[in-house]
Structure 1
C-alpha cells in the first residue's frame, strides 16, 4: 500500500515533486559541525527544508494517524529503506528530506484534535524551536565546563519550580529522562535514607536484620513504582497497595491501617507514594491527609505528580495540589502538562541534602573538590546520569515566553474540554460515563446492544478507529457493573486548541465505529 505522494513510494533518495519542491540547497557536507558558522548555516537550510516537507505532508493528512495497519507501515518503511537505515553509503540531503516527509505522513499527529489517547501532548512551537539549541551546542550539564550556561539555566529552573511547589530555600532538584526515572530516583533516596537510619541506630544495614523494605501506594499508582522496586532490588512484591475511594483516590485511613499492621521485626516501611494525577482517571490523592498519616508513622512521602504538575501553574486547579509541599520528593513531568518535547521530567526534593548519599559522588576528572570549592561544579552530584542533555533550555524558553499563567491557561482550556466531554457522554444514549474530569481525562464505555459483547466491541471499535486513522482514543480496564475488570475507553485531552465541537465529533466517531463493529458481528453471525 502506498500513500498518495508519499516519500515511501520509492527507495531513497525520493525526489521531491516539482510542484512542492523545497528551496534548493547543496548536498550535505558530512564534515560540517552544527555549532560552526558554516554548520549553523547548514542547520538553518536543513531545518527550513525539513519544515517545508513536513508542512506539505501534513496538508494531505486526514486524521491523527495514517489509514494504515502495522503490517502496511512495516512494508512501506522496508520499501523506503531497502538497505536499512544504517547503509554503508549515504544518500545526502534528499534522503534526509524523504525521511522527514515520510515521518510527517505516517507518524501520530498530536496536534490533530482527534488525538486523545495518551498523556502525550503536542509540543509547543516555542519549546520545539528552543530545543534546537540543545542539539546545536550539544552541551552536557554534568560538569560546569561541559555546558556552563545550561547548568545555570537548569539551576534557576529548578529553583523556580521548587518555589511553585511550596518548598523552601533548602530544596533542590534535577531534570530526568521521564517520570519513571524520577520515581526511581526518589525511591532510591528513600531506600538509602532508611538504610542509613538503621545503620545509625543499630550499627548495621537492612540485610543484617532481615527487615523487608516496603513501599506503599494506591492501587491506581503508576506501574513505575513497582518497576523501581524491582530495579532497586526490593522486588515488585515489596509494594503494598492501598485501596481507593469512589473518586479513585487513596484512602488515608486504609494507609494508616496498613502501616500499623507492619511488623517492626520484619517490615520496614521506607516510603509512601501518593499520586497527583492517576494515569487512568487523573485523580489526585488527598495529599494533606496522606501527609498527616505519613508524618505520624515517620515514613518518607513521595508525590508522583507526573500528570498533575500542570496544576501548579493554574489558579483554578492549584488547590488539587494542596499539601504537595509536605512531600519529601515530587515528580513533575513537564512533557505532559507543560507541553514540552520529551523528555522533560523533574525530581524535586524538599531537602537538597537528600541527593548527596545517592548521587553525590565526586570524580577527579569531572568534579574534583577544588573545582567545586572554586564554584565550577556542574550537576553531576544530583543525577543518576553522567552525560545529560540541556533539556532545561526548552523549558525555560517556554516559561519566559508564556509565563506560568500562560501555561496554566492551557491546562484550564483542556480541563474545560474534559468537562464538556463528560457532559456530552452522560447525555448520549450510546455512551456511559465511568469517571468524569479531575484534570483532563474522561473514562467511558460504548453501550452495546448485547452486554455480553461489550468488552469485545469496545476493544474492536478502538482498533477500527486506529486502522482508519479517524481518531485516537485511549483504552484501559476498569471495574464493570459486576465489579470485574472490563474494557473502557478514555479521552486524555491535552490539546488546548481543540474546540468543544471537535470533542463532539470525536465522540460521534466512537459511536459510528461501535455501530459498524456491531453490524459486522451481527452479519458474521447471520
Structure 2
C-alpha cells in the first residue's frame, strides 16, 4: 500500500519522498515540453491516421512502465511529436489560439490542488476569484451590479445554459401547462449561428422546427427588419418566441450581427435576447474595436469564450446574465451539497455541472500579469492580420477572396485563370488535405453559397504577413501540381 500512496501529491500526509517525486514530475514534464516547443518548426508532423493508430494500439495499458519519466517520454513520442501546434504561425485553421504563458502556471496550480468550485467547502477563495472575474466580465459587457454568471466548459455549454434560462423565463410568463407550451416555443437565429443553437433546442426538448431562421442582409448579418417580421409570424402561427440569438463573430465569416438593433427589437417584443460572443468576446478589451459590440449591454445573456479570444488554455468559457436572479431558475438543492440554509456562496446553484475545475484562475493570472489592454491589443493584432491577408489575396491573380473580413477570418480560393467554379470546388478539398499531410501549414475549409472555400482563422498574434505569404505559396504549389496531375490523367485517357 505504501508504494501506491507514494504516487499521490500529499507529502505532508505520507513521506518526504513524495514531495521529491512531485517536484521531479512537474519539472520533468515542463522540461520535456520546453524541449518540444523549442524544436517544433511546423504545426503538424504529417503522420497518417494509420501510423498513429498503430503506435497507440501497440501500447499495453495493463503493463505499466513503473516510472513517470519513462511514461512521459512515451507520451512525448505518441502525443507531443504528433500534436497540432497552435502556437506555430502557419497554423491558421480553426478557432484555436496559442496560450498566454501566465495561464500555464495557473494550470499547474489548478491540477495539483484539484479544487472543485461547485461548493465553498471545496474551493474557498477559488469561489471568490471566479465570482470576481464574472463581475469584471459583466462590467466589460456593460451590465449593472445585478449581473451574474458562471464559468463553463465552452461556448456550446454556455449557449445551452442561456437557452435553458430563456426557456424557463418564457414558461414562467405563459399561463398554460409546460407540456402544451414547450412544443410551441421558438428560437430565432440566422443560419450563420453556431450549430449548438440547434443542438440545444433538441436537448431542451423543443420541437423539431423550434429554430426559426431569420434572413440576413447582404453581409451575412441578421436583418433587423426580417427579425421583427419573423417574430410577428411566429406569434401569428401560434408559436411562442422563446429567445433571439445574435452572433458576435460567426464561425465561417466572423460576422457580427447588428446587436444594438436586434436588442431593441427584442425589448419591444419582450423576448429573451442572447448574444453568442464566443468568438468576438475579445472585442470587450479591444482598444480600437470595442464599438463593434455596441448594444450588447441590452442582452439577457452573453456567451464568452476566453479560450478563443483571450488566449486561454481550454477550457475557459462563461455565460454572463444581466439579471442574476434568472440563474436561480435552474437551481437544485441537495442537503449534502448545497442546502437551502447555506450561508456561504455555492456556485453549483448556477451551473449545469457539479464537479468543476477552477479554470477561472487561468484568466486571473493572465489579467494580473499582462493586463486587459495587452490582451485587447493581441486580439486587435489578429484582426489587423486578417485584413492584411485579405489584401494579399486580392492582389494575387491566382486567388480570390469571398468577402472582406470583420474579425480574423478570411475565406478564399486558389482559382487561376481558366479554372471553372466547379473545378475549383473539386480541387479545394484535395489541396487542403495535401497541405495538412505535408504538416508545414494547416488551413480550414467550409462551404458557403454552394461553393467550397479555404479559410484562414487567425488567432496567433505572432503570425506575420510573411507567414501568410508562405502559406499562400504552398497552396499555389499544391494547386498547380494537382492541376498538372489532372491534365496528365486526362491526356492518358484520351
Question: How far 1:75 moved relative to its partner?
Answer: 2.1
TM-score, normalised to structure 1's length?
A: 0.88
Question: Structure 1: how far apart are the matches of 2:10 and 2:367?
Answer: 25
Residues 1:426 and 2:397 are matched in the alignment:
no
Residue 463 of structure 1: aligned partner: 433
> Which one of the candidate residues 128, 148, 170 is aligned to 1:194?
170
Give the conservation status (yes or no) of the 8 Å contact 2:184–2:207: no
For residues 79-129 of structure 1, the C-alpha deviation after alignment (integer angstroms, 9 at most, x for no partner) is 4x1x1xx32544322022321343221010111111010001111111122
Question: Structure 1: how far apart are the matches of 2:396 and 2:11?
Answer: 59
TM-score, normalised to structure 2's length?
A: 0.94
> Which one of the candidate residues 415, 419, 424 is aligned to 1:450?
419
Give the conservation status (yes or no) of the 8 Å contact 2:327–2:350: yes
Residue 369 of structure 1: aligned partner: 340
Residue 405 of structure 2: aligned partner: 437
1:245-260 matches, cutoff 5 A: 245-260=217-232
Worse-superposed segment, 339-348 or 499-508: 499-508
Residue 483 of structure 2: aligned partner: 518
Question: Structure 2: how far apart are the matches of 1:292 and 1:56?
Answer: 53
Question: How far 1:499 moved relative to its partner?
Answer: 1.6
Question: Structure 1: how far apart are the matches of 2:19 and 2:465?
Answer: 42
1:35-434 matches, cutoff 5 A: 35-36=10-11, 38=16, 39-79=18-58, 81=59, 83=60, 86-93=61-68, 94-198=70-174, 202=175, 204-208=176-180, 212-263=184-235, 266-358=238-330, 360-372=331-343, 376-434=344-402
Residues 1:491 and 2:459 are matched in the alignment:
no
Question: Structure 1: how far apart are the matches of 2:181 and 2:459?
Answer: 48
Question: Structure 2: how far apart are the matches of 1:509 and 1:29?
Answer: 52
Residue 442 of structure 2: aligned partner: 472
Question: Structure 1: how far apart are the matches of 2:288 and 2:347?
Answer: 34
Question: How far 1:366 moved relative to its partner?
Answer: 1.0
Question: Structure 1: how far apart are the matches of 2:23 and 2:219?
Answer: 50
In structure 2, relative to structure 1, the CA distance for the partners of 1:136 and 1:210 (3 Å cut) is closer
Worse-superposed segment, 435-444 or 279-288: 435-444
Give the conservation status (yes or no) of the 8 Å contact 1:35–1:137: no
Give the conservation status (yes or no) of the 8 Å contact 1:211–1:268: no
Question: Structure 2: how far apart are the matches of 1:124 and 1:469?
Answer: 24
Question: Structure 2: how far apart are the matches of 1:260 and 1:391?
Answer: 42
Question: Structure 1: how far apart are the matches of 2:200 and 2:296?
Answer: 21
For residues 215-270 of structure 1, the C-alpha deviation after alignment (integer angstroms, 9 at most, x for no partner) is 00111000000000000000442101112122221111111111111235720010
SS in 1 for 2:79: helix
Give the conservation status (yes or no) of the 8 Å contact 2:55–2:78: no
Question: Structure 2: how far apart are the matches of 1:511 and 1:323?
Answer: 42
Could you tell me which runs of 5 or more consecutive residues in structure 2 were left unpaired when the two chains were aligned. none
Give the conservation status (yes or no) of the 8 Å contact 2:228–2:265: yes
Question: Structure 2: how far apart are the matches of 1:440 and 1:139?
Answer: 35
For residues 490-510 of structure 1, the C-alpha deviation after alignment (integer angstroms, 9 at most, x for no partner) is 101111112221111112112
Question: Structure 1: how far apart are the matches of 2:413 and 2:301?
Answer: 36
Question: How far 1:58 moved relative to its partner?
Answer: 4.3
SS in 2 for 1:139: coil
In structure 2, relative to structure 1, the CA distance for the partners of 1:254 and 1:40 (3 Å cut) is farther
Question: How far 1:188 moved relative to its partner?
Answer: 0.4
Residue 21 of structure 1: aligned partner: none
Question: How far 1:210 moved relative to its partner?
Answer: 7.6
For residues 170-189 of structure 1, the C-alpha deviation after alignment (integer angstroms, 9 at most, x for no partner) is 00010011100000000000
SS in 2 for 1:512: helix
Give the conservation status (yes or no) of the 8 Å contact 1:65–1:469: yes
SS in 2 for 1:369: coil
Worse-superposed segment, 287-296 or 275-284: 287-296
For residues 439-471 of structure 1, the C-alpha deviation after alignment (integer angstroms, 9 at most, x for no partner) is 111111110543131111111110000111121
Equivalenced residues, count: 482
For residues 329-348 of structure 1, the C-alpha deviation after alignment (integer angstroms, 9 at most, x for no partner) is 00000000001110111000
Question: Structure 1: how far apart are the matches of 2:244 and 2:264?
Answer: 12
In structure 2, relative to structure 1, the CA distance for the partners of 1:229 and 1:518 (3 Å cut) is same
Could you tell me which runs of 5 or more consecutive residues in structure 1 were left unpaired when the two chains were aligned. 1-27, 480-484
Give the conservation status (yes or no) of the 8 Å contact 2:285–2:373: yes
Give the conservation status (yes or no) of the 8 Å contact 1:183–1:331: yes
RMSD: 1.7
